[in-house]
Amino acid sequence: MKQLLFILLLSTSILIIPGCDKSESKPNEPVETNKTIVEHFGQLNVNGKDIVDKDGNSVVLRGMSLFWSQWGGQYYNKETIKWLRDDWKCTVIRAAMGVEGGAYLDNPEAEFQKVKAAIDACIELGIYVIVDWHDHSAEEHLEESKAFFERISSCYGNYPNIIYELYNEPLNVSWNDVLKPYHEEVISVIRTNDPNNIIVAGTPNWSQDVEDVIDNKLVGSNIAYSFHFYSSTHKQELRDKAIQAINAGIPLFVTEWGMSEANGNGIIDNASLNEWADFLEAYNLSWCNWSIVNKDETSAALLPTTSSLSGWSESDLSVSGKIIRDYLRLMNSELFDLL
């Protein structure tokens, strides 16, 4: 019976994926006994300033961002993501696909396959996955971005696991004249294939100037806006921008934040970190922490000497890695225990 159900699920999943290349293998369906996170929450929606589950209840996703795919691609796999779900209690993973810097623009198929491996793993493991066009000048790569999201949405638009992040961190460019038109074009491509999964739009000035969206939102449903911070650099002034936007009904998603300085390195300001954590909880914001990589910088969760892809002990983790693992386990364990 189990086997029959499995075969039925498999054939259903083949039927509901239009437009995938024949060569593209499909993710396995979740086969575990307990419910998965995605089975629990189901299709996510944006309702006002909140993200809600299939029943309309507020949802807060917390997890880790992988590092740029061209430099941290070894972690784009099921082994690592399973560990991040089971030990770190991540309910969401962000696949940060590099665009410039020897990434997608130069090697589109190789980078696509890394993202695909991460997506397939998240579907199989029953957690959410943010598919991030990790670019700082995406308005110059509009056609490439549209082609990428066309492929992602045609392959995966029927899976509630997928969250599209269209533009990681724009530089100091106009929301109205540059970013809004970019997002409108990419959204129209995605919505042809996928009417409902959440789309997160990047905002000006490294996804910080979210107040620019007030009274100038994108048209359409299930659209949220990126808000990023690095807690040792950014303080109340940046939180005030977010609060202004939230109070105006703008739904925010913290697709990336770090407990370092804004360059990913430097000190950890514990007092500021606590203020940001309180802020995230007070406003029910979903987030991914930057990042899973073994690099000699403050925001990297793994020590440079850590070569394993999973099974990390405390001594494999950086200071920030230990803090964020403890925090994820504190905040998310209760949810996993419910399943």
Name the site residues for Ca ion (rule: CB under 5 A). 157, 194, 196-197
Residue nearer to Ca ion on the CB measure, 69 or 161: 161
- Measured from the CB atom, the residue of 64 and 198 that comes closer to Ca ion is 198
* Nearest distance in Å: CB 157, Ca ion: 5
- Residue of 143, 169, 237, 281 marked catalytic: 169
Compute the least distance from the CB of residue 156 to Ca ion, in Å.
8
Cα distances (angstroms) measured from residue 267 to each of 188, 226, 231, 249: 42, 24, 10, 34
Is 207 within 8 Å of 191 (Cβ atoms)? no
Nearest distance, CB of residue 17 and Ca ion, angstroms: 11
- Let me know if 79 is a catalytic residue: no
- Active-site residue 124, yes or no? no
Smallest gap, in angstroms, from Cβ of residue 196 to Ca ion?
5
What is the nearest approach in angstroms of Ca ion to the Cβ of residue 152? 11
By beta-carbon proximity to Ca ion, the closer residue of 157 and 170 is 157
| Matching residue, tokens 């407990």 | 259
CA nearest neighbour of 136 among 206, 191, 199: 206
Closest CA to 236 of 206, 271, 288, 264: 271
> What distance, in Å, lies between the first and last C-alpha atoms of the chain?
23
**b vs e for 138-175, b when ≥16 Cβ sit within 10 Å of the residue's Cβ?**
bbebeebbbebbbbbbbbbbbbbbbbbbbbbbbeeeeb
Instruction: Tell me how far apart the alpha carbons of residues 4 and 260 are, in angstroms, rounded to a whole number.
Output: 50
Which of 123/300 has CB closer to Ca ion?
123
**Which residues touch 247 (CB under 8 Å, ≥6 apart)?**
none
Which of 111, 139, 165, 256 is catalytic? The answer is: 256
Nearest to 60 by CA among 322, 283, 228: 283
Nearer to Ca ion, 196 or 310 (CB): 196
Catalytic residues: 169, 256
